[in-house]
Amino acid sequence: MSLAHPAISVVVPMRNEGPNVEPLLREIALALDGVAHEILCIDDGSTDDTAAELERMRAAGLSVRPLRHRRSCGQSAGVVTGVRAARAPWIATLDGDGQNDPADIPKLWRRAQAEINGAAISGAGLDGSGINGAQAGGTGAAGALERVAGAATAVEGAASGPGAILVAGWRTTRRDTTVKRLSSRIANRVRARLLGDATPDTGCGLKVFPRALFLALPPFDHMHRFLPALVIRQGGRVVSEPVNHRPRTRGVSNYGTLDRLAVGLVDLLGVMWLQRRWKRPELLPEAPGTLARPVEQGDDVARGSGLADAARPGGQVSEAVGDAARRDGLPAAPAPANGLGGTPR
């Protein structure tokens, strides 16, 4: 099920993953069957048939939006491109090699909402048995996810505060080579020690978070490996959820272990610098009777009207935002001049 206003956008960076396109996209569509969603596949300068396969899947009726980089810019650039183009307030990311299991997306999304709402998750019709315990308001996984998606409309677009939550996948059983497993284990321990992100598996591509939260983070190459630390720096929270991990059965790795190690130390020092160069101010309540200022593009104030995420591509800025602003007695934010969702960097 895909609508003009999706509840969740799945962002998949790809490079030379032609054989994985169809099976992965069909798995994502199955995992989110009955839920308003879109799949953004970012072709990072592929030289194989990735672009042709994506177009074939779009023509076949899948809710996929292929986006192409003229040349390869890296996995983080693919994630940034996808999130900026996304139309949903929630984002799920996963790798394009088929090793992440799309069936875990609902579990991570549900965990994010549970962290925000606490006991309110029970009122959405879910019991301890998980998503299949849905009752009224819909049937099966689709009804459960739709109710969960609407359970926290007041905070789901927040870039800080209670709604700023990142749920990171935790590959408790890795299906990789010995070299990859050892290098990841060492990197995770070093990062946790120096950055204090308390995340056992920052390298897992499967993550769920609010779009507005990501847009508030500083974009840079290889940032996808430091999202937990960046979210904590922003004032958000990070939790880890065990996920399935599968061996690669098609294609070959396109972002190598040596590439990651070569830049890892420099990136780590850069993130440490960012952490030390920012203090999060704690705002005191405004005086009674203070007039509210106009809401600006990129505003991270958590409002139920959705004004925190006002600037979206594809014509989303306009009527819905304007109507919400008028209901709150505020002027609507103007459309972004640069054509991108989020604050210009």
What percent of the chain has pLDDT above 90? 45
| Residue 187 shares a structural domain with residue 328 | no
Residue 282 lies in a domain: no
CA–CA distance, 173 with 176 (Å, rounded to integer): 9
Residue 39 has pLDDT above 60, yes or no: yes
| Residue 165 shares a structural domain with residue 307 | no
Task: Find residue 241's DSSP bridge partners.
Answer: 169
pLDDT of residue 189: 76
Residue 3 lies in a domain: no
What average pLDDT does range 253-276 have in this prediction? 72
| Residue 183 shares a structural domain with residue 312 | no
Residue 309: domain span? 290-336
pLDDT of residue 48: 96
CATH number for the domain including 76?
A: 3.90.550.10
| Residue 107 shares a structural domain with residue 168 | yes
The tens digit of pLDDT for each residue in 119-135 reads 344 344 444 334 433 33
What average pLDDT does range 255-269 have in this prediction? 66
Q: Which residue has the higher pLDDT, 184 or 329?
A: 184
pLDDT of residue 136: 38
Q: Which residue has the higher pLDDT, 76 or 322?
A: 76
**What pTM does this model have?**
0.71
CA–CA distance, 126 with 215 (Å, rounded to integer): 30
Residue 342 lies in a domain: no
| Residue 144 shares a structural domain with residue 225 | yes
**Number of domains making up the chain:** 2
- Beta strands 37-44 and 8-14, pairing class: parallel
Residue 139 has pLDDT above 70, yes or no: no
Sign of CA dihedral 250, 199, 265, 233: positive
pLDDT of residue 232: 92
CA–CA distance, 9 with 315 (Å, rounded to integer): 16
Q: Which residue has the higher pLDDT, 236 or 144?
A: 236
What three-state secondary structure class fits 13? Answer: strand
| Residue 43 shares a structural domain with residue 16 | yes
Residues ≥6 apart with Cβ < 8 Å to 128? none
Residue 61 lies in a domain: yes
pLDDT of residue 79: 97
What three-state secondary structure class fits 21? Answer: helix
Confidence band, pLDDT 50/70/90 cuts, at residue 275: confident
Q: Which residue has the higher pLDDT, 277 or 2?
A: 277
Residue 154 lies in a domain: yes
| Residue 187 shares a structural domain with residue 321 | no
Q: Which residue has the higher pLDDT, 175 or 78?
A: 78
| Residue 181 shares a structural domain with residue 247 | yes
Q: Which residue has the higher pLDDT, 269 or 225?
A: 225
CA–CA distance, 202 with 240 (Å, rounded to integer): 9
| Residue 92 shares a structural domain with residue 123 | yes
- Of 167, 193, 180, the residue nearest 99 (C-alpha): 180
- Of 276, 304, 319, at which residue does a domain stop? 276
- 10 Å Cβ neighbour count for 239? 17
CA–CA distance, 337 with 344 (Å, rounded to integer): 9
| Residue 123 shares a structural domain with residue 216 | yes
pLDDT of residue 203: 86
CA–CA distance, 241 with 201 (Å, rounded to integer): 10
pLDDT of residue 281: 76
Confidence band, pLDDT 50/70/90 cuts, at residue 334: very low
| Residue 175 shares a structural domain with residue 267 | yes
The average confidence (pLDDT) of the chain is 76
Residue 157 lies in a domain: yes
| Residue 191 shares a structural domain with residue 126 | yes
